[in-house]
Structures are given as structure tokens and as C-alpha cells.
Structure 1
């Protein structure tokens, strides 16, 4: 009986979920429900999936509106009708067109025009599939209209948007938020009606009892409609099934690619390699994943043709086929990668290929995919109302003052002292929290499907211009749609740009082949960087935690780095296995304490679970679960399951099997605890290996071309550390850092020999249009000869030229900054009138006799701090206090368990919440020689001796040592004062 029901995916309008709609229908004895969200199809597939559990027949459609004005409701007769509706909505959404008054002539769609709209437009003609919807409230008007005689065209349109008064209040608040208005000023036309609720089947039939033909017409529509999608175990893959023109041709191509490239990867392929290859090919063919591999290969091939750098990771990195045809650069034979993590007979979904490209190249790759393949869309994600955010919005809606809103949002209030209005804000904040607010684009998911995208969903067109479906990854996987992960990261951009910079700065060298990873792995100089923690700028291995871990592990090879990449993850650490792994790595005799069964399963990691596939191995080989059950365990722990029921059953079987195998209960629970504590966070081994490959490429460049590499790091937004610290690292590598120069610098940083010129892009207050203007002029007409020449050629305001002078960009004139500032003020419009274009004729500039004016290095530093955000000289040079007797970072290992004093410039600080809820601070400093030391600030000193911003700190503490890595357990700190700016 209900042809027009909304969920909260009628964004900022509806008040409950699609599952709650089914619960509502069930409680009212309704057997068929039509979900018609406003200009949205996000809930449709999950509504269909969940309806079986409630024994309700699902029907889906769309409520087409312009704002809140309902034009008509479209109800899909079948899957094709749903596709028609999606295509129609998408066309209007993409082109920002209003919904017309009259629906097009759909083939498999019922159209319901609301009674009030029909009256207003005096519509007389209706097609066979078009009807007039009448609510209970509108029945009193019907007998007095001409439409009372349209007996075969009238149907029930009792809109369902709310369940009760509380929902209605929430609805009004959502409408006020959407309209950015006070609740008291919200127009009635923006609201639904208090009567837009679901009545019982008996009650609605009673309401329409005098109009039995309306009930009959409504039932006929409901009976005619049928929608079907397969879900869960019954689903089949909806991805593009064929790459060429047949499965046979696809397999032949995949086989040919493997044979053609086998000797490029393995010069002398062993029987083990050949057997693994054939096993994979057979499995890929039998599981119908051939096209999935070929599509990924196609994307990678385009990337290589364009000269882009990529990293292939995910479970697909465990595949020898992926390695041979170039999707990944991880050798599964060398690493003994677990085949069943990549594919097993119980797996319905294809393996994961997370393919990283440079953040600068990713959009072009995405564009290529849309051009190359037919049915393509981006995956969506839901941005939901967060509690603090919705409290802020509700505070504005209720008209509360900003101070009160801040107090409520930050939780800084005493609940007993709040007034009624503030209590309402908190009450409805809790209710609305978690509602979808708007749709966004998934970070990396691209869909390439067999059927048209609109078979499954309407699409939006976000600013980047790629159609995006209206449901998320969980829904997609439920229905058999598996995403291609196309990611952008800055690490690859650094590698690519560093190669280009080397080519420019050192043209005498042969071209760099960054694919020679096997050579890099064996290079003792590169491995020494890992062992000594000298990997600043290198992707993934530069953080303080990784730097410390690699020194503790004495990491000096590829396999060690692969292990470290997973050990650093929070799960391994929290289970206590990180420390145990380090002990077994450093002290071989400790390995004898490992459980012999686990040691046999995981000899490479000394019987310790380090990688995600270790869960599979242990569950299968230790606990006797089949591979399907083991995969349930792995996926359940990684949070990819919607339901925990199946996971709980596998957990029970794990413990039961271990008991039957006679394992001691303590051993069973210990292994289970290890699995449970880290499986959701650990990397797949192939994933870690992929990161390690990229790290070695970065380390090669850092080792042999450190300055060019650091410029590339700076030009791509850095990484874990601040710009200032990467500049420090460039200095440590022998570079000379120059502030921006008007005749040399570009927008980004450049290098000439060992001289690095900072880019104009760092000058925070310098307008990009100004930069573009003077760089373009310089490129076309040559360097500037003087300040006068610059003023003649470039239209610029006094304020903007002042920034350039203060950063010393005109130092080629050999005039002091103070003199240049006075000249610029005299020669430009002192009354701040900006000249919009360069002068046609050179003016005769007056010469002014100014006294000799100089700038001190302290003034220079403060100008740099203001304009760049940091001084180029370093904070030690600016100290205004004498240092007491102290040690250097390199001397820490001579003072283990002793209290010492070090002076350090702050590099990085971060907090960690201890198990008791108190905060621990971790800091990284550099001493006067530029060498690192790390400190731990336990709760007793965190508040007493705070770390306030960048600068030099006196750090007094006890030297602690763990596996040869020293750090400072802080007892007190003091921030050292800096020389004041003499001009202030």
C-alpha cells in the first residue's frame, strides 16, 4: 500500500535507515514496500538484500523533486525499469537540469503524480503507466475534483518520512540545517507533514474503504513489480567478464603474456616457478578471473607507455602471474608468498590489486580507464553527521550564541546547569549523529562492470568529472561488484620527479633505470642507510618509529625491510609480538623457545605471526580450519564483514579444533589472542613487499642523488616531517639553501649543482597571480637587470613587492633590503593604487640618496620565519641563552642508565594514549650537529614540562637503551629563549 517511502538517504529529509523502514513495515503487517528516496538510490540494493530477513517483498523507485517540490514518483516494474530511472536521474544530476513537470515515456516504470501537482497543472492526459497519487489527507478533496472520475488512474500515495513526533522534530532540524536557517524561520513548505507516517494495513484500507478501486489499483502496481539482485553466497561477479571477445581468447592472451615475459623475470625458470605459474593460470581460469588480470595489465601497460611509475600491491601481489606480466614487482618465489592468500577455491571475490600511481598521474590514469572501458564509474562513500559537527549545526539552527555552541561542541559543560534549548541540541545531536550527510567519492575505488552502471545505481558527477555511483564498497561487494583500487601517492611522484631533476642537473650521467630493484637490494650502501636509520624522505621508512625499529632489528636487506613494514603496524605491537620478533631476530638462541608447530608453519618469522596471511596459515595448518573458514577469519578481523555471525561460528570452530588436537588451553588462547589482536592491522606479505620495493627505489635515489631527491621530496609536499626538516636534511647531504631569487627561482624548488633555490610557492602571502606574472615576463624577456627594470616590466603592488624584497629576492642588485624597500615605496604608487598592466614606456626613475642601511642576520631570520614559516639558519643560531654542559646525540650510548642533558631543536612530536587513558608524548629532536635523538615524556612530565612549538629545548633525562637503540626518558625540559627581533 505504500508507494512513496523515504529513508535517511533522502538526504537532510528522511529520518531512519532502510532497515528501520523494513522493521516499520513488518510491525504494521505490510507485505510489500516501495522505497523511493528523493533523487537518490543509495539504499536500494541493501533494502532489497535485507528484505528477505523480514519476509517483505521489496519494490524500488525514485522520488523526483526540485528541492522539496515533488514532481512525480517513478517505481521500477523490474530491473530494466530501475535502469531507466537511474539513467533519467543521472542525466539531470550531471547536467544540473531541473526535473520536468511531466515524466518521459518510460517502458518499465510506473509514474505516480501527486494529487496536488495534478490539480495545480490541470493535467488531463495520462499514459497507461501513469497514475495519480492520493494521500489519506487528500481524500476529502477528491470528490470535489474532476479526477474523481479517473477511477483507473487513482492510487494510494501515503508518503512515509517519519515514524513519530520525535522523528518529525529531527526532520525539521535537518531541513533547517539544509536551508542554513533558524528553525523559527523554516518555511512550512520545506517540511513534510505530521501525517507522513506508516499506518497498519488494516488502518490504511479502512481509510480508503469508500474508494475500493484506489486500493485495487495500488495492489495491481505492487503485484506487477518485481526486482531481483543476487547477494552474498548466491552472488555472481558483476565485473566486466570478457576483455577481448571470448573467455577462450582472454585465456590465450594471458597465457601468451606469461610466456613472453617469463624470461624477463626469471632468466632460468626453475620447475618450482613453472609449476606455480601453471597452477595459478589454471586457478585463474577456473575461477573466471582472467579478464580481471587482463584489465589490470591494460591499465599498467598504459602507465608504462606514459612513463609513469607504479606500485602494485594488495593480495594480488602474492601472484606469480601478476609479477610476470608486470602488474606487481614482487617475486612470490623469492618471498615464498602464500598462494592461498591471493586465491583459494573458497574465494568468490577476485584478488585485490591496489595500484599506486603518482598523485600527479592518477587523474590521467582514471581518465584513461573511463575512455578505454565501457561501463565505468567511481565508487561512493557516505559522509555522515559527526556528533560535534551536528551539535554545532543544531546550535546555529536554535540560534544559540557562538560561545554556547563552542561549549556544547567541545563537551565543556555541566549537564545539570544546561537550559532546555541546550539539552535539545544534545538530545537531537545524538539522534542525528551517524545519519548520511552527503555522498562523496571513495578514495580509490573504480568500477568496471559488465552491465551499464545505471543497472545498479544512479550516478552523480563530482567536480573532477567522473560519474560516481550512489552506494559504497560494502553494498558493492554484497552484489558482486568488485572495485579496482587506483590510488595516488606522493612517494612515487618523488621518485619520478627526482629522476627528472637528476637528468636536468647532471646531464652528463646516463639515464636512471629505476626498475633495477634487484640490484638496489644487494647494494651495501643502500642497505647501510636502512641499518643506520638514515632514510629521511624515503617512502614509508622515514618515520621515527620505523627509523628506530630498523636500528633495533639491524635491518640491512630486503626481506628484513619487508618484515619491518608489517611489524610496525599497531596490531603486531599490541600483541607483544614486535618485541619478541626483535629478540628472536637479534638472538638466534631465543628461537628455540618458539612453539615447534608454529615455527614449522612460519620458519621465516621464527614462529611469530607477522603478516596477514599468517592468519590463514595458522588457522588452516594449526587449527585445522579449511581455507574458506580461514579466509572468513582473516576478513572478519579486517572489518570487511557486515555480519559477525559467520565470524563467531569460525571462532568457536577454531577453539574446538585446537581442543580436539590436544593443544594445551593456554597455547590455544595465546595463539587466538595473537590472531585477534593484530589480524585487522597487519599487512599482507605481498603488500609489505610492494612497499619495500618502492622504499628501495627511493633509497637508491637518496643514496646516490641525495640533493636532487630532497628537492623532489620538497616539491611533492614532503612526507612525515615538516618542510623545514627536509631542508635541514638537504643541508646534511651537502646542499646550500638559498631563499627565493627573482632571476633564478621558480614556483617550485630548483637545484643548480649543489645550490637549492627555494620556490616562490613557499611565500604564504605572495599571490599566485603575481608569481605567474613576473615568471612569465622573465621567461619571455630575460632576467631582470635591476629593481627599476622589474618595476618597469611587471605590474605589482607595494605590498607584494615588499614580500619579495624582505625575502631577499633582489639580492642580485647588491643593495640592502632596507634601501630597496624605501626605493620601491617611492617608485611605486605610495597611495596604494595598483597599476593593472606593465608600462608601455620606461619611466625615468629618480635616484634617491639614502643613508647606508644594513640588515642583521637576526632580522633576516625573522623575515624568513614570517614569510616562509621557518628560518634558514636554524634555531641554534638564534639562541639567546648560554648552554650548560651537555652531551651530543652521538654520545648517548656512552651514558646508558645515566641522567644527561641534551639540547635539541624539535623535529616532531606526537601523543599516545596509554592503557590507563593518560597521555604519553614522543618527540624527535636534532642536536647542534644535526643528528637525531628521541625522547619519551611519560604522564608525570607531559603537563608539567610541555612542548610548545618549534625551537631549541634543553632536554634532561635518563638514557634508556633497547636493542642498541638509545632514547631519553625525560625528567624535565625547558624551551630556550631566542634572540628578539631588533625591529620589534
Structure 2
């Protein structure tokens, strides 16, 4: 168990150099024996420790106002003196402040599944187990001044400079060249890491751009120079190597986020969006003055992500690679339920209270549609939101007070207090979605780690912010179901049509694709299928790729809260004039019609108006996103206004421009991130338009994803002339498949006359046959078993024969019958429902060994 000690005294003795040893709280061997009156046992225990640690062994003195504590501390101090050891004043700290006791006690009860009335000695006897200052401790233990001096000496000796762990410590990357942050990337003989990166970039640039134009050459040279001065060549090589592995395995993988601002990342094929063509800004990604490592988020087809993670483990080894943790906090409903149980509330009260905490921001379309047959699985995508989405606890629960008994009413104020106190309180650690730490030194010498529940895997007990603060290198390997959809659809297209579709080479100016999007025919399309997008698309009507980039970025909480959406749409529709506070703003804001939408635009405005360098402009953006007080903002305003004045911008205009970028700094979206997502959105639209059958098969097989239930997807497919056929024991596979149309001539299916895209489509459309895994009661193993049995022993000829050969549970048989999987046998579904129970009892899975009884002629 993670909570149990694993280091034996013998193991510690082998590694005792440089360690201090303290005798522990009341449960330590020395104080426990002394408190029990066994001085000899206490002396022996202390001697064992002193034999290992010598003068670095100290006896702890702690007074928590237990009546026996003063005498115990004096006796322990005397014992330390007898053996020539020091004493040290300590707190047995279980919570930071006195008021933390109630929450601590309730958390202990939650941990043990007990109520406060049942907890007994699991709880501390009083409220003295908090972090006291020296003044309070001297009131209790001032008669032992040497113990205070020892406490300070030990604390000073253990003071840790974070630079001794990680190479960061808040310093600029450009000042950290030569420090080992990465395990070393193997390069061909005769190369350094940088020279190899340089060679790869030259090859990649020729492949991407053909003729090396001055703009490409200058931009690439500048980026490589910054990367070299920051000592990040290995960082880029590691990411290139991961993407190379994915390409070899035909696993879709692409970088997003600010990494898409980099030409180097693009020519290495880490990112897929051309930063020159789309006017992206490298300094949003990396400058020499950056205080944190650059961030390359790699989206990987979710079904293949584990294979990529295992490749990294194999390449760098378990000692140098581990997953980053994520701190899971208490959520509104679960917290209220657990606290109420710990306070001894009745089960019915607990249920009413938990249900009364209303959750907001759950899209109703994320819930299963009533139109979908109940025998099919419904992916449950209703997330449990956090406290920011919960109705205030008092408002939600006060109305229940009248239904409580006397004890519950008495403890209700405490319940309210604790429910608010536990908001966003850490509950447990989980594995980060994709964060992976790779270090130059062994992990155990660098960060705290623990074993994961998955075999042969470690988890770093630091979250991504801790990793950034230490300047360590985190790789983000994120699973994206849409890329699995794309991979499956492309593979199906190749298998059926012999066409190897390279989405990275298709033109991004296909009018028909933009027609599809403008008509809000977006079910299944990445990033543009939500209800908010459906509302905005007819008004914006994107007609080029840059419009899609804006569309992806603008329908976000930040732009919506920052009031960016309506001004942009009004200007797009010509209902509002496009204006600029100063002509210098036009080059930076022209693509978004004068509205500050992208974070990169803040940098461009600062550079154009105030004459900031790219590095200084990014510093301004970062500072604005963090600044909260008016004093902080004033510190940022002065150099901006001064720089603008030097450029001939009047002070009042400069102040207004500063006000605008400060207002939008918190809400702006990263343009390169939007561009990367827009490319994936375009690719899914292309697949839906030109390969609808393969698209819908891949979409159904990669559920849950997006906003819509399988029933909605099936209805959308029908509008496109694609029939979604039910499960059939003679035809279905484990997952959905494309099936030849069964009607004469294999003509197109009738389509919804209102769907102009479907009416204009010239490609051949086929049916989609649902797979066994879509049926309730059938998992992957059962579905594979059905297909394997059919392949091994031939087609199924009747319901009873199917039940005997496959051996499914009654629920699965009934659901298959309900869905018409046996209709080809000509038997009524109602009849099969009755027979499912008896068929289950005679199946191989139900059959049990029969006891052989003696016959009459037995001896």
C-alpha cells in the first residue's frame, strides 16, 4: 500500500550519509517507550538510531497540552543529554492553523469510512496539532533553549535552493546553456545535438518549401540561433523522434499550442501548420528571456497513445522517464455527500443534499438521446463539474433544513462551513492526461515519485506547474479521439478504394468544404460542432482557412467573457465599421477586423505601437495575464506609453490602446493553437464531404467524443444518404463497418432534400453496419468471441444454435433480439425474448459439471 512505510532501518543505515534523524511523534519508538515508563527500551531505541546517524540524531520535544507532555519532554531531553545527543523542538503538525482541526477530523473520518461519533482515537485528542510559531513554543518549552537553537540549525542545513534540483529556478533559458536537463539524444557520428538539428531542419525546409526563400531562411536561422543559445536542441530532437516513430507506425500525431508558431517545429513535421503562411509569431513560443521551458503539446490518436508512451519508456528507461501527476480536488456533489456521511447524517438526507446541489454548464446534447434504442450503449459524457459551476451551497441546502432531525440541524452550520472549506481541496493524485517527465539524472535524485497502479510505471508526485517551476522538461503526449477517427477513416478508404489519402497535402481552399461548414452541417466535425458554433457559423460564414482559425478561437469562454464575439461578427456582417485607435494597429488587427482576439496580436501591437522587442512584448503579455491590482498595471503602463510617445503616438491614444490590450490579455486565444485545431477541423470536414460512409463508421467506432449521441449521428448520416443498419449476427463485426448497399444497382440512398451538400455529392455512398460492441452487455471480448466463432465454425443458422455456440448472458441475448440481430432467421423478436432465458441456461457458459450418481447395479 502506498501509505505504508517501505524503508527498513537497515536500508536507511546503508544510505544514512547526509541525513538527519529525529525520534518522531508520540508513536516513535523512543517517545512511545518513554511514555509507557520503559526507560531502558527508550534508551536502547535511541542508541540504535545514534549508532546509525551519530550526532545527526536528535530527540524531539513536542508539547500539545497533554497533561503528560511537560514531564515527557523533560525526560526525553535528559535521555538525549545522557547519550551526548541534541534535543530539538518540533510540532506534530496535521493542519496549518487552529481552525483547520474540524476539516482535518472530517477528512480522517472520510478516509476511514466512519462518522465523527465512531472515530474515537482515530482523531487527535485536542486542537493543538497545528503549525505554531516560535513565540507559542517558547511559552511551553522555553526551559530547553538548546532545542530551539538545534531546530534553527537543522532548518538552515536543510534549506533547499530549487536550482540544485532543476535547472530553472526562475532564470531565463538563455542563461542556462550547458546545464543537463535532458538525458542526451543519440546523434550520428560527427554531429552534436545542434548540428544534427540544423541538418534535419535544412532537409525539412527543402521538403516543405522547395526553394528556400529569404523569408524562410531568415526565420529558420533566427529560430535556430535562439534554440542554440537556450540549449534546447535535444528538446526538439526528442519531440522530432517521437513524431518520427508515429509516422513509421502510421499513427496520426501533430503538435498544437504555441509550438505551431515555430518554423523549426514545422519543418521537423512536429506541427502541421505553416507559421510563415499564417503569420504566426515565434516569440509567443520561445525567447531567450523565457522563464519556463517551451511547451510542445503533441496530440496523438487516442487508440495508439499507449504505444507511443511505451516507446518513450523503452528509449529512455524507467529510471529517467515517468508520467506527471494531476492533483484531483473535491467536487461539489461528492464533497457534500462525504462530509454529510462523516457528520452522521441519515442516508436519505445525504441523498437529498447531494442532489440539491445543482450543476450547470452540462450541454443537454451530451446526454443520451431518447431516440436511440435502449439496447444500444450510450456513452456517458456528463462531466461532474467543479465548484465554479455549482449553485451556492447555502442556497441549495437551506431549504432542506426543515426535513432534518435534531442532530442534523445542529450540525448543519458545520456542514456548510466544511463544504465551503473543502472546495478545491486536494483529494488524491491521478496521472496527468499526457504529461511525461524525462530527466538527465535518475528520477529518484530529482523528483519525488511513486508507483502507478499500472504495472511498470512511475508517477512523479509533482504537477505540471511544479515541473515548470523547477525548469524540468515535460513532454505532453495527449490522446485525441478525432485523430483516431481520422486514422480509421483513412485506413478504411485505402482498404476499400486502394487510395492512400494524405490529408496533409490536400488543398485548404475547397469551396465545397466551406459550403459544408457554412450550412452548419457540422455533426462530427472537430471544434465546430457545438451549439455555440452552430449559432455563430451562419453569421460568420467562413470562406477560407484563416476564417476557420478565427472561428475556432472566437467561440471560447475567454472571448465570450471578454465581449470579443459580437463586435467581430457585427463587423464581419458590415453592421459596424472597422476602426482602429491608431493607424499603427491596422497591420496587427486587420485579419480580425480591428478586434484583439489572439495573444500574438498583443505582441504585435506592443512591437508596432511602443517599439517593444519581441521578447519584451511577450513579457508584457505574460505580465498582463498575471497582474491583478491597479498598482501592477500601472507598472506595466508607463514603459508602454513612453515607447508609444517615442513613436509619435499621443499619450491619450497610447493609454487607450494599453487599456484595450490589458482588457483582452486575459481572454485572448493563442492563434497557433487555433490554427492547429482549425486544420483538424478542415480535415474532418473533407472526410465527411467526400467519404461519408467511412467517416460515419470511424465516428461511431470512436465514441464517446464530441457533443452528439449515436442516435443523432445516425440521423445525420441518413440526411447524407448513409443508412445505419442494425446489428446482424450474420454480417456484423466487432465494430461498425462499411457495407455494400443491398438495394438494386447500388444507387445512392434517398437523401434529405434540404441537405444541399448531400444532393450535390457525386461520390458513392454505402451503408454502415453497426458492430457487436455497440450492444449493451457485449464488451470487446464477447464481440471478438462472436466473430471468431462465426469464422471458425461457419455462419449461425438459428437463435438457439447461436446461443449454444457463443454462450452469452441473458441480457446480451435479449438486447441482440431487441435490436433485430436475429431477424434473418425469420423468428419473432417477442418470442426470442422469452427464449433468451432458457437459451442462456443451456449455453456452454452456463453449463456446470454434473455429479455422477451411482446406478442400481453398482457394487
TM-score tier after normalising by the smaller chain length: 0.7 to 0.9
Alignment of 1:374-385 (within 5 A): 375-385=320-330
Could you tell me how far 1:147 is from its partner in structure 2? 4.1
Partner of 1:125 in structure 2? 48
Write the distance in 2 (CA, Å) between the matches of 1:226 and 1:335: 49
Kindly tell me: are residues 652 and 756 of structure 1, through their superposed partners in 2, closer, same or farther at Cα, counting changes over 3 Å?
A: same
List alignment gaps of at least 5 residues for structure 1. 1-91, 841-984
Partner of 1:494 in structure 2? 485
Partner of 2:432 in structure 1? 442
Could you tell me how far 1:836 is from its partner in structure 2? 2.8
Alignment partner of 1:725 out of 687, 712, 731: 712
Could you tell me how far 1:811 is from its partner in structure 2? 1.3
Write the distance in 1 (CA, Å) between the matches of 2:822 and 2:567: 59
**Cα deviation 1:200-241 (Å, max 9, x = unaligned):** 536645755666665565555445434221432478577317
Write the distance in 1 (CA, Å) between the matches of 2:207 and 2:575: 37
Alignment partner of 1:836 out of 835, 845, 851: 845
Alignment of 1:446-457 (within 5 A): 446-457=436-447
Partner of 1:256 in structure 2? 199
Write the distance in 2 (CA, Å) between the matches of 1:798 and 1:233: 65
By relative contact order (CA 8 Å, sep 6+), the higher-ranking structure is: 2
Write the distance in 2 (CA, Å) between the matches of 1:158 and 1:348: 36
**Cα deviation 1:836-859 (Å, max 9, x = unaligned):** 36799xxxxxxxxxxxxxxxxxxx
Alignment of 1:557-572 (within 5 A): 557-572=544-559
Partner of 2:170 in structure 1? 232
Q: Indicate conservation of the 8 Å contact 1:171/1:191, yes or no.
A: no
Partner of 1:412 in structure 2? 397
Query: What is the Cα-based RMSD across aligned positions, in Å?
Result: 3.6
Write the distance in 2 (CA, Å) between the matches of 1:186 and 1:722: 46
Write the distance in 1 (CA, Å) between the matches of 2:813 and 2:186: 60
Kindly tell me: are residues 210 and 103 of structure 1, through their superposed partners in 2, closer, same or farther at Cα, counting changes over 3 Å?
A: farther
* Residue aligned with 2:48, SS: coil
Q: Indicate conservation of the 8 Å contact 1:612/1:684, yes or no.
A: yes
Alignment partner of 1:479 out of 470, 475, 478: 470
Write the distance in 2 (CA, Å) between the matches of 1:164 and 1:557: 58
Q: Are 1:786 and 2:802 matched, yes or no?
A: no
Kindly tell me: are residues 743 and 828 of structure 1, through their superposed partners in 2, closer, same or farther at Cα, counting changes over 3 Å?
A: same
Could you tell me how far 1:442 is from its partner in structure 2? 2.5
* Residue aligned with 1:360, SS: helix
Partner of 1:188 in structure 2? 121
Q: Are 1:618 and 2:605 matched, yes or no?
A: yes
Write the distance in 1 (CA, Å) between the matches of 2:444 and 2:230: 26
Write the distance in 2 (CA, Å) between the matches of 1:467 and 1:251: 31
Alignment partner of 1:391 out of 315, 319, 336: 336
Alignment partner of 1:708 out of 685, 691, 694: 694
* Residue aligned with 1:109, SS: coil
Q: TM-score, normalised by structure 2?
A: 0.78
List alignment gaps of at least 5 residues for structure 2. 34-40, 164-168, 358-395, 403-407, 741-765, 850-859
Write the distance in 2 (CA, Å) between the matches of 1:801 and 1:388: 37
Normalized per residue, the structure richer in strand is 1
Write the distance in 2 (CA, Å) between the matches of 1:801 and 1:99: 53
Q: Indicate conservation of the 8 Å contact 1:379/1:468, yes or no.
A: yes
Q: Indicate conservation of the 8 Å contact 2:525/2:684, yes or no.
A: yes
Q: Are 1:135 and 2:62 matched, yes or no?
A: yes
Write the distance in 2 (CA, Å) between the matches of 1:779 and 1:648: 75
Alignment of 1:342-357 (within 5 A): 342-357=285-300
Could you tell me how far 1:415 is from its partner in structure 2? 9.9
Partner of 2:110 in structure 1? 177
Q: Indicate conservation of the 8 Å contact 1:766/1:803, yes or no.
A: no
Alignment partner of 1:362 out of 305, 317, 328: 305
Q: Are 1:110 and 2:26 matched, yes or no?
A: no
Q: Are 1:740 and 2:727 matched, yes or no?
A: yes
Kindly tell me: are residues 389 and 248 of structure 1, through their superposed partners in 2, closer, same or farther at Cα, counting changes over 3 Å?
A: same
Q: TM-score, normalised by structure 1?
A: 0.69
Could you tell me how far 1:157 is from its partner in structure 2? 4.0
Write the distance in 2 (CA, Å) between the matches of 1:192 and 1:202: 23
Give the length in aligned residue pairs. Answer: 741
Kindly tell me: are residues 509 and 780 of structure 1, through their superposed partners in 2, closer, same or farther at Cα, counting changes over 3 Å?
A: same
**Cα deviation 1:170-195 (Å, max 9, x = unaligned):** 32222111111011111314537544
Could you tell me how far 1:166 is from its partner in structure 2? 3.1
Q: Indicate conservation of the 8 Å contact 2:97/2:131, yes or no.
A: no
Kindly tell me: are residues 251 and 234 of structure 1, through their superposed partners in 2, closer, same or farther at Cα, counting changes over 3 Å?
A: closer
Q: Indicate conservation of the 8 Å contact 2:514/2:544, yes or no.
A: yes
Write the distance in 1 (CA, Å) between the matches of 2:79 and 2:843: 68
Q: Are 1:421 and 2:411 matched, yes or no?
A: yes
Partner of 2:250 in structure 1? 307
